[in-house]
Amino acid sequence: MNILFEPCNAPLRAGNRWCLQAGMLFFLFLLLYNPCASAQRLSLKTNVLEWGVLSPNVGAEFLLNDQMTLELTVSGSPFRLTNDLYLKHFRLQPELKYWFLTLMTGHYVGFTAFYSNYDAAFGGNAYYGEAYAAGFTYGYHWILSRHWNLELSTGVDCCTTARQSMCPERSMETRTRRDGCRHR
């Protein structure tokens, strides 16, 4: 079951329940982590570019040791621009980072993975399903001021998806049939 929008005739699967539970545990962990958390142990972050495409997101990066951190990011988008143009999704993404010199400053390499549940339509084609990926990242982190930092990263991932095709909705009550879109 998609937690941000109605499923597109998709049956409820155990993987979707796990995703909802993992997201809820992540936010519970953030609330209970350490009430006296300091910037040296916990960093809250967001991806501004994702907000620009109507995909709200939040992440937290936790100190593991002197050179490693773990980042957990959750994002989702329940928005629909038109019946033929939308990207609704939920994404959960952990990343393990190794910092070369100083923790949370300078160069790092990381291993990342993600799970995404999506419903997308572009032009006359639409798809919904789940995607899984794993890969490697490289990034650089700048300290701008006491409370503001900037991080840029790039990466290479291998992704697999379980998707189903459909025709975008022509009206709120019309969905796909086995033989394709319903024409007027």
User: How does pLDDT run across 93-112, given as a tens digit for each residue?
Assistant: 999 999 998 888 899 999 99
Residues of the chain with pLDDT under 70: 1-40, 167-184
The burial of 100, by beta-carbon neighbours within 10 Å (0-12 exposed, 13-18 middle, 19 or more buried), is given as exposed
| Residue 91, pLDDT score | 92
Give the tens place of pLDDT for each residue, 32-52: 555 555 546 788 999 988 888
| Residue 153, pLDDT score | 94
| Residue 138, pLDDT score | 97
| Residue 30, pLDDT score | 55
CA 60 to chain centre: 13
> Distance between CA 90 and CA 88 in Å, rounded?
7
